[in-house]
Amino acid sequence: MQLRETAHPPVSHLVTGHFREQSGYSTWRSLGTRDWLLIFTASGLGRFGYRGGQFIARRGDLVLLSPGTVHDYGVEDSLKRWELIWTHFYPRSHWHELLNWPAISPGLFAIRLQAEADIDLFESMMLEMHRLANSAARLSEMLAMNALERVLLECDAHNPLSSQAQLDPRIRRAMEFVCANLAAEHTIPGLAHVAGMSVSRFAHLFRQQTGQSPQRFIELQRINRAKELLRLTPRSIQTIALDVGFANPFYFTLRFKKCTGKSPRQYRQANAAS
């Protein structure tokens, strides 16, 4: 039986939708589309067909279809109910590495969220993207593209192919704690406590997964943040040193020069125009 081709909405940068479908809803595009398609399952079950099988999407699943991939999806037959939030989009140039997802089949990719808190977060982000895309705001499409970029960036932490997702969640928790509290005094026992690990196990696993010691990671985060503040703000070097966790401005200057080859003052002068 020849299937009837499903119409495709015209896409400038992105088009979004929020559907609550029941039995009988299906989409068939034998040549796919020129854009990318991202579908988040908010509830129910969706079916994505491909040569040789099908993928059943449940709540919290994100499915991505690349340009030229056959579109064969709809409500899964047994549950007969599917709530999906979707967007057809043309990616910005720097997004392509964010679209390297695990493949179900050629051109069909999926990320499966596990924690209910993560699922709720992604649902709210997708709904916000949809709201912005269909708002009366003058720059609604650009705002929606920014919201979609946030979705793709957040996906990176759940993508098994990304280096970020491959980190042990306990190590990631300690790293995020450092980045959120650069001005604080950090110790290995304190970070091990944040990670919920023994000191020796934490130090070993941190180096194994990141290729550097916790102390080195802390210093690099502080130096990188100091570089941003030197480039983008008129704050004094002494104030910046305190902002990033160096109580002694002289020691800050020594470590900054060791890492960058320039003193903070030299670095600011060299990057004044950037």
Q: Are residues 176 and 149 in the same domain?
A: no
How confident is the model over 90-148, as pLDDT tens digits? Answer: 999 899 889 999 999 999 999 999 899 999 999 999 999 999 999 998 899 999 999 99
What is the extent of the structural domain holding 217? 169-270
Q: Are residues 32 and 152 in the same domain?
A: yes
Q: Are residues 134 and 243 in the same domain?
A: no
Residues 6+ apart with CB under 8 A from 152: 95, 98, 99
pLDDT of residue 131: 97
Other CB atoms within a 10 A radius of the CB of residue 8 amount to 17
Residue 166 has pLDDT above 90, yes or no: no
How confident is the model over 173-210, as pLDDT tens digits? Answer: 899 899 999 999 999 999 999 999 999 999 999 998 88
CB environment 235-244: b (16+ within 10 A), e (fewer): eebeebbebb
pLDDT of residue 118: 94
pLDDT of residue 7: 84
pLDDT of residue 164: 67
CATH of the domain at 120: 2.60.120.280
